[in-house]
Chains A and B, each alone.
Chain A
Amino acid sequence: MKYLTEFRNGEIAQRMAREIASITTRPWKIMEVCGGQTHSIIKNGIDQMLPAGVEMIHGPGCPVCVTPLELIDKALAIAAQPGVIFCSFGDMLRVPGTDADLFQIKGAGGDVRVVYSPLDAVDLAAKNPDKQVVFFGVGFETTAPANAMSVHMAKRRGLKNFSLLVSHVLVPPAIAAILESPGNLVQAFLLAGHVNSVMGYWEYPPIAAKYKVPLVVTGFEPLDLLDGIRRAVIQLEAGTHEVENAYERIVTFDGNQPAQKMLAEVFEVTDRAWRGIGVIPKSGWRLSEAYREFDAELRFHITGIHTVESPLCRAGDVLRGAIKPAECGAFGKECTPRHPLGATMVSSEGACAAYYNYGRFLSAEELATAGSGLTHA
């Protein structure tokens, strides 16, 4: 496929890794924000190509993972109601709520459907006027234009039986929250390129200036990631803190203007709870006044939700970058992609799923032990 395989060239990747090693004089901790980037890094072994001391910390950029448990439980309560067609992207189905997941709701007779696009849910609403069609609208700025368009279309088509269960989250406030958290170790960020394809990167220079942190807009292929890391290390070594664009074939400074216009019309900024992290002020979007009638939380008046997180699951620590997935005691034992305890093991963008699927089972401690055994062999 054009402009895909070229960015996976192993020989060039090795040369770029050596270039990074040659410019590195000190240890650096760099966070990739996006879960898609985490998967690419682990799948391609990018972290293992880096010089000792340059460590990738996996960020909270997995929308499924940071969706609060309370909202999952609300989704389950709505989906279980008769007369409701509950639509979602596939990776939300196995996310465990307090008592069940969406698969189990479907098994018990609920009408739960996986759609490819939120517009498919709008079409379902038009075809089923006697049903309430609810779309589970989670995601970062990348997914928001699609969800905004679905509500916009529903309003234009006069559909009274379509609503959105919204939990949109935003990258810039999350980065600020990480940088302000006590004991923060992150010294530079790879920005999530596809978020920037929508939003551009005009929001980021104030963050780079305020926190004196290099920010590099980065893509998802191995060479994109290595180039993003390379640029971050160059800045760290030089003590500069600029916003750079290492994904120029996709991202412009201004971003996608028609999409941003739609987002400003349909959504407004709100405080948002992040699973495993807590409430971050002004870190999400909810439906604006003009579209409030499409808010599923208001339409269904779900109350009496009592949430309980699994005591074994350390997804919160993983999302904060405090531990690597394999350092969680439940990893690969009580918690696997088939029987996940937390959302980070479910999602195609979750860090725990990445470590499991690509065979990273050993904790740092076990690795050290296994390593010393080998040296004695």
Chain B
Amino acid sequence: MGRVDFGGVVKRVCLDYVPEVVVGDYTIVHVGFALSKIDEQEAVRTLEVFRQMGVLEDELADGEDAFERAAAAPMSNCPDGSCAPQVLKSTVN
């Protein structure tokens, strides 16, 4: 058993399935068991890829294309994505 800090709350957690973890590692914990060590290098790499995604496209956007994007912001109470009429409301007003 080990001690895992859940953002301030410390709980006893079974570490038998993750013998590779050391003090200071991040893990995924489910019902009192650590199941996987978080690979920090992969996390950083993935975030870097995400940050780059669409950046150039954004910088080059203008005119009608950029306007359509602004209008296509997410809305509430729409289970199937068919919320186009609510966009019209803001246009009418």
Partners in one complex: yes
Residues of A within 8 A of B (CB): 1-3, 6-7, 9, 12, 15-16, 18-19, 21-22, 45, 47-50, 52, 54-55, 89, 116-120, 142-143, 145-146, 149, 194, 197-198, 223, 227, 248-251, 256, 258-259, 262, 324-326, 355, 359-364, 367-368, 370-372, 374-375, 377
Does B58 have its Cβ within 8 Å of any Cβ on chain A?
Answer: yes
The yes or no answer to B81 lying at the interface (CB within 8 A) is: yes
Report if A15-B77 is in contact (Cβ < 8 Å); known contacts: A89-B31, A249-B46, A251-B36: no
Looking at the assembled complex, report how far the CB atom of A230 sits from the nearest CB atom of chain B, in whole angstroms: 8
Contact A18 B92 (CB under 8 A): no
Interface residue B84 (Cβ < 8 Å from any Cβ of A): yes
**Residues of B at under 8 Å CB distance from A?**
7, 11, 14, 16-19, 26, 28, 30-33, 35-36, 38-40, 42-43, 45-47, 50-51, 53-55, 57-58, 69, 72, 74-86, 88-89, 92
Contact status A15-B75, CB under 8 Å: no
A52-B82, A223-B50 are known contacts; what are 5 more A-B pairs with Cβ within 8 Å?
A: A15-B57, A47-B81, A120-B32, A197-B36, A367-B77
A377 x B92 contact (CB < 8 A): yes
A–B complex contacts, Cβ < 8 Å, 14 sampled = A15-B57, A18-B54, A22-B57, A55-B80, A89-B31, A118-B31, A249-B39, A249-B42, A326-B79, A359-B77, A360-B79, A362-B77, A362-B78, A372-B85
- Return the contact of A258 from the options B19, B30, B53 (Cβ within 8 A): B19
Instruction: Give the distance in Å from the alpha carbon of A327 to the alpha carbon of B76 in the complex.
Output: 17
Sorted from nearest, which 3 A-B pairs have the closest CB atoms? A117-B32, A371-B85, A15-B54
Complex-state Cα separation, A19 to B83, whole angstroms: 20
Which residues of B lie under 8 Å from residue A377 when comparing CB positions? Answer: 89, 92
Residues of B within 8 A of A45 (CB): 74-76
Residues of A within 8 A of B7 (CB): 1
CB nearest neighbor in B for A223: B50
Chain B residues within 8 Å of A375, by CB: 85, 88-89, 92
Report yes or no: B84 in contact with A250, Cβ–Cβ below 8 A.
no
Q: How many angstroms between the C-alpha atoms of A194 and B34 in the bound complex? A: 11
Query: What is the minimal beta-carbon distance from A166 to any residue of chain B, in angstroms?
Result: 15
Find A367's partner among B43, B57, B74, B82 (CB 8 Å cutoff).
Answer: B82
A residues less than 8 Å from B32 (CB atoms): 116-120, 146
